[in-house]
Amino acid sequence: MGLLEGKVAVITGATSGIGRRTAELFVAEGARVAFTGRRETEGQALAAALGDKGRFIRADATLEDDWRRVIGETLSAFGRLDALFNNAGGPAPTGSITSVPVEGFDAAMALLVRSVMLGIKHAAPTMMRQKSGSIINNGSVAAHLAGYSSSMIYGAAKAAMIHLTKCAAMELGEHGVRVNSISPGAIATGIIPKALGMEANKADGIADKMKDTFAKVQPVPRAGITDDIAQAAIWLASDRSTFVNGIDIVVDGGLIGGRMFTPHQQSLAQMKTALGL
């Protein structure tokens, strides 16, 4: 029996990357999944691959009416809601704070913060009636330390989202509903090429080419992959984490833990040489 046997989940932003892989693994673990995205072709292709345990709902996670429809269709199709993975996201404006376009800032906050608020808002009533449920929000190491995203606006939005997670957890936990977040590190997906201006479908296709670079940025000597985040989401959605509430799980191979040992030792050796020791 899978870890999610009998559970029903909604996953946003599931037409590529982390969302797509999470939908695949949730179904493999026994869940029935309603998943969303704005790209019809990719969504229908995934629905066909998942079979009768997967249902694609074309939706924009920043729109409240779309959220009402997503939750309504999920309950009509599957009868309950046990987990929500607020995964929908995308790039934010890059460059100096002195040149950030206001419309780009507002769009990023809508996609990265408002979408999560709306997901919690519309999933929570059903879960509260059930006295159970797990809401999982996709964060970022950029929320913890500046300079870990191509965009400072992205980092600020993810930091706001993680605090929103904690605030919601304090309320909903009283009703048996848990709210947590996952902060990915250097995961090989198309988000960075998209942030730098590459078209979405092309960016998704070159994600694997980023693995060699990403393998060198943290102590664990490999790039992060979508499975790393999907497996954390499975655990949070499962009954193995029912006493976990209001936390952010960093999945980054040690990226933000501190200075890596070997480069640090090399710098100390250089200092000794400079000091004539």
Cβ atoms of 120 and 136 closer than 8 Å = no
Q: List active site positions.
A: 154
Distance of alpha carbon 249 from alpha carbon 247, whole angstroms: 6
126 Cβ contact list (under 8 Å, min separation 6):
71, 75, 80, 81, 133
Q: Which two tokens stand for residue 229?
A: 């985040």
- Give me the helix-helix angle, 226-237 and 17-28, nearest 10°: 50
Distance of alpha carbon 242 from alpha carbon 176, whole angstroms: 9
